[in-house]
Structure 1
Amino acid sequence: MALLDLADISFGRGLRTLAEGLSLSVAPGSVVHLTGPNGAGKTTLLEIAAGLRRPWQGQRRCEVPLHWLGHRNALAASLSAAQNLQAWADLQPDAPGSVREALHALGVDRVRHRPTRDLSAGQKRRAALARLLMAKRPLWILDEPFDGLDHAGLADLAALFNDQTARQGAILVTSHQPLPARVRCQVVMPLAVLP
């Protein structure tokens, strides 16, 4: 059984139609990579998949807990990485993981007490991604998670992807660049800009 099903959905932004009759299924153990040019509706589709936006038509079915990580990192600039992650964890009933261990696993433990505004773009992204380790949720929906990451960061995130699919979790992800080759179980779904 799929962790996420979108059936015959249509959606847009404002009055502009971005997709019509689109169906998508995300199976356990898979990585579905949405590709396409700017304006094709990748982020809007992810928001619908995450339950943050309703499609104009069609059905969404998702009955498992999910992680949503948008293009912005959702980190308070005046708080440290550790404070941001702890504040998030305090609001999650299923996030018993250790803040320090999650930040360490993502390579930002040594800067965990610095205000987030003082971190590099890659460090901010890693701190935001550490949420994935705090609660083991079956479905990850990630908008451009590789942005700002260096070579080591790409390798770390690829390893997280493979850990997620190995335990029969799934990932729906957008990225302007191809996913690292070491990411297993990839399915590429291109979106096109409608005329």
Structure 2
Amino acid sequence: MVVNKQELTDWVKSIVVAFVFVMAMKTFIFAPTFVDGASMMPTYEDGDRVIVNRMSDELSDIERFDVIVFEAPIGKNYIKRVIGLPGDHIAYEDDQLYINDEPFEEAYLNEGKEQLHDSGKFTQNFTLEQLTGYDTIPDGYLFVLGDNRRKSLDSRHPRVGLVPIDKVLGTTDVRFYPLDKLGIVQ
């Protein structure tokens, strides 16, 4: 098989354009990442591979109960669920989430609660004031929790605290590995 110079040049151009396109998509729009640890179980499990939507890093795009990936202050990326937005007051009492004194259902926690082997609380009682000293979440910050409330290093802990919006890498709701769990995650 003889390949002429023009055909070879066209192939090289096509490969370069495809490579640049894929790198731009990965850098600016979508990026794969993996779940490290049990803090989001059963929603996401240790070793799951997810797609981070980098287009949703503006505050106006992030909504309550979105799952986000952010740069944690302890030197790695974390995946957690947004519970509180700027201006919100957050409290937990007897396994009930209160946002601005209104109770909120968290159906995504039901499976984890059912797996408890004791009669203890799934989420310990707290108020935003107790954890952070703030009455409401300041502008430019989010309050996040892991779905596995007993085993999550999240906004309840001083090492993580409130998450600055500018540290959010994006949202995630697509799992691509393991293949038997491929799809949109609620």
Q: Which has the larger radius of gyration?
A: 2
If the length of structure 2 is used for normalisation, what is the TM-score? 0.28
If the length of structure 1 is used for normalisation, what is the TM-score? 0.27
